[in-house]
Amino acid sequence: LVVAILSLGLAALALPEFNKLADKTLLVSQLFQPSILISVMIMIAVISILAGSYPALVLSRFEPVKVLKGAFKNTQSGNWLRHSLIVFQFSIAVFLIAATFIIQQQLQYIQNKKLCYDRSHLLVMNIDQRIIDKIDLVKTEFKTNREVLGVSKAHSTPVKIVGGYSMSKSDSETEGIISVKASPIDEDYLKVNNLELLYGSDLNRQDILDANQAEESKVFYHYILNETGAKALGWKPEEAIGKKMFLGSHRPGEVKGVVKDFHFASLHNPIEPLVLFPGGWGSTLLVKLSGNNLSQTIADIGQKWQTLAPHRPFECRFLDEDFDKLYKSETRTGSVFSIFSFIAILLACLGLFGLSAYAAHQRVKEIGVRKVLGASIGNIVLLLSNNFIKLIGLAFILAAPLTWFIMNSWLQDFAYRITVSWVVFAAAGGAILLVTAFTLSIQAIKAAV
């Protein structure tokens, strides 16, 4: 009971950090519920029984005199158990270290991969129809600040476009229909997000007006496709300009421009066909900043917002935050693996420290004889460490293929991913070897001197 309460007390102290790591809102009071307390007590009791049962069963087979003389230490079963536990512990440690390296490499790859749009210093605000009705005034007022490089109204940011549509070369509801992602934009969207226009020209004010005619018969759309979208319709990107197409069956228009493929979803998914079209509606305002005097610039925008949109509180975020949310799960997994790697190494080294002390104690007479015969401290250290180093090598050999298989399976979830390199396993093995050598050397040098 005392151990259970102390354990829950330590858990309560660590709960705030655990909530941050796991993205949960657990309360301290929940830890001390009777069901939790009883479960912890049962778990501690079961572990204690299991830990003590094997030595008790083995020792019970020996005669009391032999047990008191330490006969168990020389049995094959005793050696096999100790060696197996060392291999098992360090196999887990190798797996966790290598997995942590791979996860961090993938996250770094995601952060550094060229997405073909610029998300730096891009402010995002949610807007409503009352703001859209005076969007030109909002843009003009914001751009009076020289640190504001551009303002765009859109339905989606380039980080995540999810609108599902269909496109085709004709208005037929059955002929050549292709599923596509699409989003309404204005004439400033490409410039604000620094999307690269490969062919054709950008949207202008007249294109916006053409798509929002009062008479339905006069409505006409000018489309911006990505490279994948042009190819999906059977055109080379440079040949798509001026070609007729439909978005759905009620939006006739033509291709006005083709942009370079950019990642408008997470790297879990391959780039899909995309259509950007002029639209009068939207829910997002994008404000491109120079990056100078950010706090002052945002404060100035906030003051203008209170005047232009007093009905809505000023709330903003940077586009980087939206991007980071796409990989929140992977970031959390990396943090968890890092913590458990540290715990696994610590526990393995504690066990190794105890076993090396035990081995040195059992061989103290042998060490004395070897020193009398001229053995150096280095010889003694090597003698006591040699067997353990072999076990660590066996643990590495067992853990490396399993780690490679599991992490390759995890990486398959990404359409764009790193290649698992042998360097990762070399680094994990080297880290384990250094920690092991340090742990063993403490007892070995102590015994040698």
> Cα(429)–Cα(389) distance, rounded to whole angstroms?
11
Q: Residue 190's closest CA among 247, 260, 136, 249?
A: 260
- Which residue matches tokens 């929002």? 212
SS (HEC) of 325-362: HHCHHHHHHHHHHHHHHHHHHHHHHHHHHHHHHHHHHH
Q: What would the two tokens of residue 424 be?
A: 């990762």
Q: Is 372 helix (H, G, I), strand (E, B) or coil?
A: helix
> Cα(209)–Cα(309) distance, rounded to whole angstroms?
24
- DSSP lists the bridge partners of residue 124 as 286, 317
AA letter at 276: L
H/E run at residue 190: helix 189-193
N- to C-terminal Cα separation, the chain: 44
- Which pLDDT score is estimated for 251? 87
Q: What would the two tokens of residue 123 be?
A: 């402010």
Q: What would the two tokens of residue 236 be?
A: 């080379």
- DSSP lists the bridge partners of residue 183 as 276
Per-residue confidence in pLDDT tens, the chain, 449 aa: 677 677 777 777 777 777 776 667 777 777 777 887 788 788 888 888 877 776 677 666 666 665 555 555 555 556 777 788 888 888 998 999 999 999 999 999 998 999 999 999 999 999 999 999 999 999 999 999 999 999 999 999 999 998 889 998 875 555 678 999 999 999 999 999 999 999 999 999 999 999 888 788 888 999 999 999 999 999 999 999 999 999 987 889 999 999 999 999 999 999 999 999 998 778 999 999 998 989 999 999 999 999 999 999 999 999 999 999 899 888 888 888 888 888 888 888 888 888 777 777 777 888 888 888 888 877 887 877 888 888 888 999 999 999 999 999 999 999 999 999 899 999 988 888 888 888 878 877 777 77
Strand pairing category for 221-226 and 252-259: parallel
> Cα(232)–Cα(380) distance, rounded to whole angstroms?
71
- Which pLDDT score is estimated for 268? 92
CA neighbours closer than 13 Å in the CB half-sphere of residue 7: 12
- Which pLDDT score is estimated for 50? 79
Q: What would the two tokens of residue 44 be?
A: 């501690």
Burial group, residue 256, by CB count within 10 angstroms (0-12, 13-18, 19+): buried
Summarize pLDDT for 141-198 with one digit per residue, the tens. Answer: 999 999 999 999 999 999 999 888 999 887 555 567 899 999 999 999 999 999 999 9
Summarize pLDDT for 283-316 with one digit per residue, the tens. Answer: 999 999 998 989 999 999 999 999 999 999 999 9
Q: What would the two tokens of residue 249 be?
A: 């069956």
* Region label for 313, one of left (φ > 0), alpha (ψ between -120 and 50) or beta (otherwise): beta
Q: Is 414 helix (H, G, I), strand (E, B) or coil?
A: coil
Q: The whole model's pTM is what?
A: 0.79
AA letter at 43: M
> Cα(126)–Cα(156) distance, rounded to whole angstroms?
10
- Which residue matches tokens 């008479």? 215
For residues 322 and 130, the answer to whether their CB atoms sit within 8 Å is no
> Cα(332)–Cα(325) distance, rounded to whole angstroms?
11
Q: Residue 163's closest CA among 278, 264, 51?
A: 264
- Which pLDDT score is estimated for 62? 62
Q: Residue 271's closest CA among 116, 77, 84, 145?
A: 116
> Cα(289)–Cα(145) distance, rounded to whole angstroms?
10
- Which pLDDT score is estimated for 351? 80
- Which pLDDT score is estimated for 145? 94
For residues 407 and 102, the answer to whether their CB atoms sit within 8 Å is yes
